[in-house]
Amino acid sequence: MTEVMRVLRREHANMAALVKTLDWQMREFEIGGQPDYDVIRSVVDYFLSFPDLYHHPKEDLVFERLKLRAPEVAERIGDLRREHEMIAARSREFSAGLKAILEEAHVPREAFVRWARAFIDVQMRHMDMEEADFFPSALQVLSDQDWQELETAMTTPDDPLFGENVGERFEHLHQSILRWQAEDQQARVAGSGAPGSSS
Ligand SMILES: [Fe+2]
């Protein structure tokens, strides 16, 4: 495992946790409940301000190198850069829908659910594909020197949600995540040994 891949996988794990959070919130909304709009807002803001700006460009660099070393493998994987652009478009679409809802503009519930579901869906499918195909292929094809050069070429500022210093606008989400993790941990301890008690 290379340092670049460790970082990309860690970022995926963080993103997957957020997508799951969003999924819970949307379920609440879909059954007519009141979701935590602050949490939803922060999740979308995070995707716009970190993965779209710093995670996907790193993957693009790895993909470019893969294309150079094994064009046939890259071709099988597809057009990753375009997929990243499409994902960013889904983030912006969902963000605009949420903004309209928060400003109490008339947005049909179904439209909001559709944007949210499209966002959740595309994020999960994309990450699954990368984990199953793109990452293992890159690890197989690229040399130590490739990884070294890629690492040098990459810049990542501190992650505003999962990094050392949590940005002010992500504080509420950060606290919520810590609380959920603690609850999850407690539930696990309480449920350990009870067969079938999965969440
Ligand atoms: Fe990714």
In a domain, 19, yes or no: yes
In a domain, 85, yes or no: yes
pTM: predicted TM-score of the whole model, two decimal places: 0.86
Each residue of 137-151: pLDDT tens digit?
A: 999 999 999 999 999
Spacing, Cα 52 to ligand 1 middle (Å): 10
Spacing, Cα 59 to ligand 1 middle (Å): 6
Spacing, Cα 197 to ligand 1 middle (Å): 31
Each residue of 51-64: pLDDT tens digit?
A: 988 999 999 999 99
Spacing, Cα 32 to ligand 1 middle (Å): 32
Spacing, Cα 86 to ligand 1 middle (Å): 13
- Tally of structural domains, the chain: 1
Spacing, Cα 51 to ligand 1 middle (Å): 8
Under a CB-based contact definition with an 8 Å cutoff, are residues 167 and 161 in contact?
Answer: yes
Band of pLDDT at residue 193, cut at 50, 70 and 90: low
Distance, CA of 146 to CA of 162 (rounded, Å):
27
Spacing, Cα 192 to ligand 1 middle (Å): 33
pLDDT (average), residues 95-99: 91
In a domain, 197, yes or no: no
CATH of the domain at 29: 1.20.120.520
In a domain, 118, yes or no: yes
In a domain, 17, yes or no: yes
* SS3 state at 31: coil
In a domain, 103, yes or no: yes
In a domain, 56, yes or no: yes
Spacing, Cα 100 to ligand 1 middle (Å): 28
Provide the residue range defining the domain that includes 53.
3-180
In a domain, 162, yes or no: yes
